[in-house]
């Protein structure tokens, strides 16, 4: 059990972060609430904008007042624009599908809030994420585990956390049995955000979708171009590769031989490649930028459960070191649908996160083995 002390609570203006701050205050922590302002809300936004909007800042301030803790606002708009929005636009321009929440956790929330916590003399950072952090007494490593409420689990988006960040972070909601329990606690404490709906959007994306942002910031990614099938036959024209992602069926030319899906994007030739449903499946991929949590490094091949999208189920696979430093090759037991470059690939042993990285490319070769994780390694359930 970690000793009590000063903790900075990241307060997004939602019920989860407010309950986190309240629980820690009740447990005897000296809590300081901080809300990030990370994007410039437009006058025509047309909605509250989710976390970190102006309305969310005021909700966080009211919650902090009710809890009885000091509250500050940290302006990171420029940093967020450089580290998250710019990369988001660059990835879509390359025909990839990024995870902006993963990048925000990596480059903004944990790095900058922990820096601010140190400046305030705080020992820890607390967030409202649904995940669990434990220290493995045998290995001495801090580990990230899925939340007890697997439907709300957010470990997939937290795989970038370092050992230092894990050691200094508290996530009390990961131990709760359900989101209903979070709302019950909020109501009992009289928190003004107890009934506030969960935010479902990417905070900086306008109501009409991310393509407006790309049209404004990267018009070259919205240039029309050819749609071809996997045999090279031209099937029509597309509206710009930024409008498409692997597995998509919408906005594609009609086909008399059956539905077509996006199977590849080629930004160099500005081409969308389409194919039949069965052409969406891949048995292997390569990932880069690996961050290992349960391990110091990957010494050889390892049987895992792999998740390749936020709300996707984990599938049995074998991972092994890739050709480049910080890369891995992952071979599924069974081919998986729509393996998408730019998305996170997170590897589990049961509910424990082994590590994760970014999908770089699909591998054409067939898997050399069809392993299943060892007995006792329970499948990571879908969130």
Residues identified as active-site: 104, 203
Write the secondary structure of 11-23 as one string of H (helix), E (strand) and C (coil). Answer: CCCCHHHHHHHHH
Q: Tell me which residue of 89, 84, 115, 117 sits closest to 101, measured CA to CA.
A: 84
What three-state secondary structure class fits 88?
helix
Residue 137, Cβ neighbours under 10 Å: how many? 7
Q: Which two tokens stand for residue 332?
A: 């599924």
Q: Which two tokens stand for residue 305?
A: 């459960």
Q: Which residues of 203-227 are buried (b: 16+ CB within 10 A; e: fewer)?
A: bbbbeeebbebbeeebeebbeebeb
CA distance 325 to 163: 19
- The residues facing 356 across adjacent strands are 291, 346
Q: How many CA atoms lie within 13 A of 27 on its CB side?
A: 17
Q: Which two tokens stand for residue 57?
A: 């800042």
What three-state secondary structure class fits 124?
strand
Q: How many CA atoms lie within 13 A of 278 on its CB side?
A: 1
CB 293 within 8 A of CB 143: yes
CB 172 within 8 A of CB 126: yes
Residue 14, Cβ neighbours under 10 Å: how many? 23
Residues with Cβ < 8 Å from 107, sequence gap 6 or more? 79, 83, 84
Q: How many CA atoms lie within 13 A of 78 on its CB side?
A: 0
Using CA atoms of 80, 81, 82, 86 in order, give the dihedral in degrees to the nearest 10: 120
């Amino acid at each position: 059990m970690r000793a009590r002390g000063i903790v900075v609570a990241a307060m997004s203006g939602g019920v989860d972060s407010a309950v986190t701050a309240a629980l820690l205050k009740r447990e005897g922590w000296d809590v300081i609430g901080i809300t990030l302002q990370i994007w410039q809300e437009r006058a025509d936004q047309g909605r509250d904008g989710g976390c970190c909007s102006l309305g969310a800042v005021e909700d966080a301030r009211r919650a902090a007042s009710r809890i009885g803790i000091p509250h500050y606002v940290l302006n990171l708009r420029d940093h967020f624009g450089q580290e998250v929005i710019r990369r988001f636009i660059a990835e879509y321009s390359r025909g990839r599908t990024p995870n902006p929440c993963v990048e925000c956790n990596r480059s903004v929330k944990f790095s900058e809030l922990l820096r601010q916590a140190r400046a305030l003399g705080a020992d820890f950072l607390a967030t409202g994420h649904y995940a669990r952090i434990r220290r493995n007494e045998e290995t001495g490593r801090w580990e990230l585990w899925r939340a007890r409420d697997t439907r709300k689990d957010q470990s997939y988006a937290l795989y970038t956390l370092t050992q230092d960040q894990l050691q200094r972070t508290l996530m009390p909601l990961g131990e709760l049995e359900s989101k209903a329990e979070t709302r019950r606690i909020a109501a009992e404490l009289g928190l003004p955000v107890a009934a506030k709906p969960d935010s479902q959007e990417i905070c900086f994306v306008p109501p009409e979708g991310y393509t407006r942002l790309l049209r404004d910031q990267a018009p070259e990614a919205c240039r029309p171009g050819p749609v071809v099938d996997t045999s090279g036959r031209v099937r029509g024209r597309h509206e710009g590769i930024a409008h498409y992602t692997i597995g998509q069926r919408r906005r594609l030319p009609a086909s008399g031989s059956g539905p077509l899906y996006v199977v590849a994007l080629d930004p160099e030739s500005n081409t969308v490649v389409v194919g039949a449903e069965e052409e969406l499946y891949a048995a292997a991929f390569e990932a880069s930028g690996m961050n290992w949590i349960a391990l110091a490094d990957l010494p050889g091949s390892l049987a895992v459960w792999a998740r390749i999208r936020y709300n996707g189920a984990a599938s049995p696979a074998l991972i092994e070191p890739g050709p480049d430093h910080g890369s891995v090759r992952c071979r599924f037991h069974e081919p998986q649908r729509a393996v998408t470059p730019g998305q996170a690939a997170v590897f589990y042993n049961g509910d424990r996160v082994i590590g994760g990285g970014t999908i770089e490319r699909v591998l054409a070769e067939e898997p050399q083995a069809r392993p299943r994780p060892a007995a006792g390694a329970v499948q990571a359930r879908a969130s």
